[in-house]
Structure 1
Amino acid sequence: MYFINYRSSLINSNLFINSIRRDRSILKTINGGVWDLPSPKNISYWWGFGSLLGLFLVIQILTGLFLAMHYVSDLNVAFQSVDSISREVEFGWLIRSAHANGASAFFLFLYLHIGRGIYYGSYLYSHTWNTGVVIYILSMAAAFLGYVLPWGQMSYWGATVITNFFSTVPYIGIDLVKWIWGGFAVGYPTLTRFFSLHYLLPFVIIAFILIHLVFLHDTGSNNPLGLNSSGDKVPFHPYFTIKDLFGYSIVLFLFFLTVIFIPDYFGDPENFIEANPLVTPIHIQPEWYFLPAYAILRAIPNKLGGVIALLMSILVLFLFPLISSSCNRGYFYSTLHQILFWFWVFDILVLLWIGARPVEEPYVTIGGISTVLYFSFFLLTPILGWVNNILNKNNING
Structure 2
Amino acid sequence: MSFPWAEHYTPKHPFMRYMDEKLPLPRLVYNAVGAGYPVPRNLNYFWNFGVLAGAALAIQILTGIILAMHYAANGLVAFDSVEHIMRDVNQGWLLRYAHANGASMFFIVVYLHIFRGLYYGSYKAPREMVWLLGLVIFLLMMATAFMGYVLPWGQMSFWGAKVITGLFSAIPLVGTTIQEWLLGGFAPDNAALNRFFSLHYLLPFVIAAVIILHIWALHIPGSNNPTGVDVKGPQDTVPFHPYYTAKDGFGLGVFLLIFAILLFFAPNYLGHADNYIPANPLSTPAHIVPEWYFWPFYAILRAFTVDFILPAKLWGVLAMFAAILLLFFLPWLDRSPVRSGNYRPLFKKSFVVLVVDVLVLGYCGGAPAEEPYVMISQLAAAYYFAHFLIVLPIISKIEKPLPLPNSITEAVLKGKDGATLSTNAVAQPAE
Structure 2 partner of 1:178: 180
Structure 2 partner of 1:342: 352
> 3-state SS of the aligned residue for 2:238?
strand
Structure 2 partner of 1:10: none
1:331 to 328, 338, 341: 341
Distance in 2 of aligned mates of 1:197 and 1:74 = 15
Residue pair 1:292, 1:348 contacting (<8 A) in 2 also:
yes
Matched, 1:292 2:296: yes
Structure 2 partner of 1:16: 13
> 3-state SS of the aligned residue for 2:349?
helix
> 3-state SS of the aligned residue for 1:219?
coil
Unmatched tracts of structure 1, length 5 or more: 1-13
Residue pair 2:300, 2:381 contacting (<8 A) in 1 also:
yes
Matched, 1:112 2:112: yes
Residue pair 1:326, 1:389 contacting (<8 A) in 2 also:
no
Cα offset, 1:21, TM superposition: 10
Cα offset, 1:26, TM superposition: 2.6
Distance in 2 of aligned mates of 1:18 and 1:388 = 58
After TM superposition, the structure 1 = structure 2 runs for residues 149-160 of structure 1, keeping only pairs within 5 Å, are 149-160=151-162
Cα offset, 1:160, TM superposition: 0.1
Residue pair 1:22, 1:28 contacting (<8 A) in 2 also:
no
**Identity fraction in percent:** 50
Matched, 1:85 2:89: no
Structure 2 partner of 1:143: 145
> Structure 2 vs 1, CA of residues 94 and 39 (structure 1 numbering), >3 Å: closer, same or farther?
same
Distance in 2 of aligned mates of 1:97 and 1:26 = 35
Matched, 1:95 2:95: yes
* Structure with the largest fraction of helix: 1
Cα offset, 1:249, TM superposition: 1.1
Unmatched tracts of structure 2, length 5 or more: 1-10, 306-311, 404-422, 425-431
Matched, 1:255 2:256: no
* TM-score scaled by length of structure 2: 0.86
After TM superposition, the structure 1 = structure 2 runs for residues 1-398 of structure 1, keeping only pairs within 5 Å, are 15-16=12-13, 20=17, 23-24=20-21, 25-35=24-34, 36-124=36-124, 125-231=127-233, 232-301=236-305, 302-378=312-388, 379-389=390-400
Residue pair 1:21, 1:27 contacting (<8 A) in 2 also:
no
Structure 1 partner of 2:411: none
> Structure 2 vs 1, CA of residues 21 and 309 (structure 1 numbering), >3 Å: closer, same or farther?
farther
Cα offset, 1:234, TM superposition: 1.3
Distance in 2 of aligned mates of 1:234 and 1:279 = 60
Q: Which amino acid aligns with 1:16?
A: H
Distance in 2 of aligned mates of 1:150 and 1:317 = 32
> 3-state SS of the aligned residue for 1:381?
helix
Residue pair 2:75, 2:193 contacting (<8 A) in 1 also:
yes
Distance in 1 of aligned mates of 2:53 and 2:14 = 29
Q: Which amino acid aligns with 1:160?
A: K
Distance in 1 of aligned mates of 2:232 and 2:275 = 52
Q: Which amino acid aligns with 2:69?
A: M
Cα offset, 1:240, TM superposition: 0.4
Residue pair 1:145, 1:195 contacting (<8 A) in 2 also:
yes
> Structure 2 vs 1, CA of residues 315 and 17 (structure 1 numbering), >3 Å: closer, same or farther?
farther
Deviation per residue, 1:99-129 (Å, 9 max, x gap):
0000000000000000000100100111110
Deviation per residue, 1:67-113 (Å, 9 max, x gap):
00000001100000001100110100000000000000000000000
* TM-score scaled by length of structure 1: 0.93
Cα offset, 1:16, TM superposition: 3.0
Q: Which consecutive aligned stretches of 4+ in structure 1 deviate over 6 angstroms post-superposition?
A: none
Structure 2 partner of 1:8: none
Cα offset, 1:328, TM superposition: 1.2
Cα offset, 1:150, TM superposition: 0.2
Cα offset, 1:20, TM superposition: 3.9
> Structure 2 vs 1, CA of residues 350 and 341 (structure 1 numbering), >3 Å: closer, same or farther?
same
> 3-state SS of the aligned residue for 1:47?
helix
RMSD over aligned CA atoms reads 1.9
Distance in 2 of aligned mates of 1:141 and 1:310 = 14
Cα offset, 1:169, TM superposition: 2.1
Deviation per residue, 1:281-322 (Å, 9 max, x gap):
000001110000000000012000000000011111111101
